Structure 1
């Protein structure tokens, strides 16, 4: 009995296979049948290498764990307060110049922590929805990198993939170190609260952070099923801890016992702002968005887990949007809690505890309550760091699969026992530990880990969205989850928001004579340096051998004659390497061609 023909010509996926045909194994078991997910993935040019043991809920759990709203907020509180703080929020650089301004420390909260969060979330949600639409069309571990290659104009796919891939990898590989640094700072701050005579050193912070990195690497090397269960538990704890903290702070505040009103008046919370930088108020508020952007990063994780998710082209985009929306809403609630209860931002920023969130809690809560909240935040942060390690390993695996890295043959190997990319996990762990050496450079140096995460992620997120909106337009072949007629307008808002924020996130907090090497914003160096080297590498060497996402499945095109040799079909075939172009048959922006061959990143007749 002949094997039934399988086709994805009607599937809403961007296919690299001529006519949308799906390859099959004529000698394999199951009659060469593909599951719905495997069929979609095969149409994208890849064979299924992972077990699909993630569901919508477990994918959301990993994504929400990576988002880590509570620990992320706690780790980046400095930016929301320091860049657009209250009348009492005197940043360190201005302390000596305007010492008398401490008298204005009268319960005034900041515009950046109320309206600012809402404004930032509009832009971030547009980015998330546009990304989700791409994920539905192209649910692969390569994610944004794959989408950039497929959607780019002919001949530019490899370069678009190269820039997107390296920017996304920089965001991913610095995520776990920055999260774990924040956890270590909170742990040591808790020790200082218990023992006021103890002051943490950089060396102790470094060693503790490295220890946590190694624990996460071990956990991230486990089988997919175990990872799904661990992250489900971690994400559940994250959400429960967040709710507890949002309720516990206003309920347990002891501000009245300190001679203060229980809460800051709403007129001050919603209508005042302190000039926390040398720039105008509006720019200061925009600069404070770094805390929102870094806190909200992580919603791309479902994209990278798509090859391990069941019903991926629907479940994964839903998980992206659900993560962003849930995180944005509850993050705003947490911002309001802080805005209504903070006492003196200057003291928070300058505290010897070395952790602004812990210093803030000490201003408005009893010590035992402070330690309880810190404990919840630390556990939630541990789960977040582990989720970041998982997501980063999948990105590294996907890029190594296409030989983006030196020694890629090792990093793309899937462990035969766990069926997970263990080598990629430990490669990222090693790079992350090297990044942690920035701890010895001081607060501004290690703070670059947070800035680079915000900018690198934003650029990677938006590059394929920009190409889709301004170069592909109505020719885009959407997946089952899509934005319909609102797709282009939402994509335009997303791109505009990122174009506005990227340069602003590189601004220093001071200008003029106060701007010194010690007070400058090193983000442009820490991010721009590696990206400059990656771009230089492209023009010097990589453009000659890097052809973009590769097809790693041997094609046997149904209804076509030809011998399969190293994944290339003689005659009407497809060779490794894809770029964007138009599908003449479907009128879509895809790498699908009809009676054409993709060779060296170019479509040839």
Structure 2
């Protein structure tokens, strides 16, 4: 057992820090020397099970690949341009990004304090008021998992649609069928599952190349479209781009602009990946939060530049939205570029989309592993196994791939049904982001023990702004584009049902059964708590009486083996 000075003792729960990175030591039993990263993860209650082969750069590469700005923009062009036209695109993106950056910075602050693969789920459990930790973790975990597990299928579906759209451009007589889209999506999912099951170092290398290509392709497209457009004049007047809201919904212009945020939110929902990869990252409580903020900041700025390029060059929005190709990005490229140039840019988008889907699969598998480690799922003992050869959670990868393929059967029900995956991903992720941030802002206050990366006194303000944005957007993301007599089943926004249904089932499961056995994150190391005085004290949300017996009180953290 390592020897350090005893932990700080606090007189009551109101003055105790409630995060569990222990600067002065909740001393874990160990039979070997530990580096700084292992001491942090051991203090959080977990054994070091992964090799720390991710750096700040490679972690950023994975999260930027998950963001996949070029393929994400191509996949969600229907929502940005299709709801409010060019003005909705350029104003919607930059306004949403200000608030999304608040969410990202608040998340990074939590990541620095608690760098575990459980991420927001662990933070919600530890930060919640006494007695509410398990329920907060339950809601956060399931919402985050639903968002994560829909990520790769939605990306791979869009990727398949783009590949087949390219086939239609090359051979105008070819018309893709829904079955062909589904089968191609399934093949891509299987390939991504194989890559995600490889050793960590291989995955990190693959994603580094993929993200580098994403960077190059993104900037190449931003330059190539204005330079190579066949239209004359090349650009629309700024007054038309910024001031002309082409409202294609039945709602007022302001609501239509808010509805375009679904494209921004879905695109920017991948910046939590460094949180989930933090147990595989060196210098995690600094590198991981930096990667979160870098991903959100760099992604937001470059994504806006891409919005501007498209907004200034598009000629006919209706033609882009209603093209027989069934893929607005491909339709737009053909409208503004010569066919060979359009095909080249579409090819770049497809390659970037493959890298993005791979990043989504990796991040989702780590989330599944973390939650299975705490027995959240049926048959968790299977999904939480780490493969002894690759040292990666191969079973969790397989589970996600199978579930993703089953979700893609929605392709057979039409574009509206499969489109629900995008809204689900946006809502599910941001609800999961907001819960622990809200607890930290409104319940924890100054008792929050910050990590080395933090927002200082501005943390609660920035977090409050981010949470308010999420509360506004949840109902907006559930709105259909039409209302009244125009609202038919094929135009319905099924997000409230497809996301709300599983979450309602999860809540019912909690009330009926799960609350009896689910106690939040389960630690898997043995701890020794050494109070400095023989009176009841509180150390990290765990009540320690004068006889050195620990009981679970504040928060939900278990100190069992």
Separation in structure 2 between the aligned mates of residue 383 and residue 297 of structure 1, nearest angstrom:
16
Distance in 1 (CA, whole Å) between partners of 2:328 and 2:409 is 21
The separation in 2 between residues aligned to 1:267 and 1:130, in whole angstroms, is 36
Partner of 1:437: helix, strand, or coil? helix
Offset of 1:15 from its aligned partner? 2.3
**Secondary structure of residue in 2 paired with 1:405:** coil
In 2, Cα distance between the equivalents of 1:340 and 1:403?
51
Number of residues of Structure 1 aligned to a counterpart in Structure 2: 545
Aligned-partner Cα distance in 1 for 2:523–2:441: 26
Q: Does 1:465 align with 2:418?
A: no
Q: How does 1:276-315 map to 2 (within 5 A)?
A: 276-315=248-287
* Partner Cα distance (2:501, 2:60) in 1: 33
Correspondence for 1:161 = 137
Q: 1:121-160 counterparts in 2 under 5 A? A: 121-160=97-136
Q: 1:597 aligns with which of 545, 550, 559?
A: 550
User: Which residue of 375, 395, 400 corresponds with 1:403?
Assistant: 375
1:327 matched to 2:332: no
How many angstroms does 1:542 deviate by?
Answer: 0.4
Alpha-carbon deviation of 1:21?
2.2
Distance 1:409 1:4, change over 3 A: closer
Change (3 A) 1:162 1:354: same
- Structure 1 residues 24 and 584, CA, compared in 2 at 3 Å: closer, same or farther? closer
Structure 2 counterpart SS, 1:174: helix
How far apart are the structure 2 equivalents of 1:466 and 1:518? 36
Query: Equivalent residue for 1:216?
Result: 192
Q: Residue 398 of structure 2 aligns with which residue?
A: 426
Pairwise CA distance, 1:323: 0.2
CA distance in structure 2 between the aligned counterparts of 1:275 and 1:148, rounded to whole angstroms? 39
Verify: 1:186 aligned to 2:162, yes or no: yes
Gaps of at least 5 residues in structure 2 are 9-16
On the 8 A contact 1:19/1:593 being kept in 2, the answer is no
Paired position in structure 1 for 2:3: 5
Cα distance in 2 between the residues matched to 1:347 and 1:583: 68
Query: Per-residue CA shift, 1:318-346, capped at 9, x if unaligned?
Result: 00000000000000000000000101111
Which residue is 1:63 aligned to? 63
Structure-2 separation of matches of 1:469 and 1:343:
46
CA distance in 2, matches of 1:545, 1:123: 37
Aligned-partner SS, 1:274: coil
* Among 511, 514, 523, the residue aligned to 1:551: 523
3-state SS, counterpart of residue 255 of structure 1: coil
Tell me how far 1:597 sits from its aligned partner: 2.2
Task: Render the CA deviation track for 1:186-209: whole Å, top value 9, x for unaligned.
Answer: 000000000111111000000000
Give the direction of change, closer, same or farther, for the CA distance of 1:262–1:603 in structure 2 (3 Å limit): closer
Are the structure 2 counterparts of residues 223 and 280 from structure 1 closer, same or farther at C-alpha, using a change threshold of 3 Å? Answer: same
Is the 1:254–1:365 contact (alpha carbons within 8 Å) kept by the matching residues of 2? yes
Does 2:32 match 1:82?
no
Match of 1:356 among 311, 328, 334: 328
- Measured in 2, the distance between the counterparts of 1:346 and 1:361 equals 14
Name which of structure 1's ranges 468-477 and 213-222 shifts more when overlaid on structure 2. Answer: 468-477
2-structure distance, mates of 1:7, 1:215: 50
The 1:354–1:323 alpha-carbon spacing in structure 2 relative to 1, beyond 3 Å, is same
* Matches of 1:247 and 1:18, distance apart in 2: 48
The residue that corresponds to 2:146 in the other structure is 170
Preserved CA contact (<8 Å) 1:20 1:592:
no
- What is the alpha-carbon distance in structure 1 between the residues aligned to residue 6 and residue 109 of structure 2? 19
Q: Which has the higher contact order (CA 8 A, sep 6+)?
A: 2
In structure 2, the residue matched to 1:111 is 87
Q: Distance in 2 between matches of 1:389 and 1:115?
A: 31
- Structure-2 change in CA distance of 1:473 and 1:370 (3 Å): same
> Which secondary structure does the structure 1 equivalent of 2:28 belong to?
coil
Secondary structure (helix, strand or coil) at the match of 2:148 reads: helix
Q: Contact between 1:149 and 1:548, CA under 8 Å: does it hold in 2?
A: yes
Residue 225 of structure 1: CA displacement? 0.7
Task: Give the ranges of 4+ consecutive aligned residues of structure 1 lying more than 6 Å apart after TM superposition.
Answer: 16-19, 600-604
Q: Secondary structure at the match of 1:114?
A: helix
Deviation at 1:555, TM superposition (A): 3.0
SS of 1:278 mapped into structure 2 = coil
Equivalent residues in 2 for 1:341-380 (5 A)? 341-380=313-352
In 2: Cα distance, 1:47 partner to 1:583 partner: 26
- What SS is found at the alignment partner of 2:527? coil
Q: Secondary structure at the match of 1:518?
A: helix
Q: Which residue does 1:15 correspond to in 2?
A: 20
Q: Which runs of 5+ in 1 are unaligned?
A: 86-109, 561-570, 573-581
CA-based RMSD: 2.1
The one-character-per-residue Cα deviations of 1:562-600 (angstroms, maximum 9, x if unpaired) are xxxxxxxxx99xxxxxxxxx9846xxxx43544452349
Is 2:50 the partner of 1:53?
no
Judging changes above 3 Å, is the alpha-carbon distance between structure 1 residues 498 and 584 closer, same or farther for their aligned structure 2 residues?
Answer: same
Separation in 2 of the partners of 1:477 and 1:599?
19
**1:176–1:602 Cα change, 3 Å:** closer
CA shift at 1:516, angstroms? 1.6
**Normalised by the size of structure 2, how large is the TM-score?**
0.94
Offset at residue 255 of structure 1 (A): 0.6
8 Å contact kept, 1:234–1:383? yes
Residue equivalent to 2:207: 231
Aligned mate of 1:507, from 457, 470, 479? 479
1:397-425 deviations in whole A, cap 9, x for unaligned? 00000000000000000000000000000
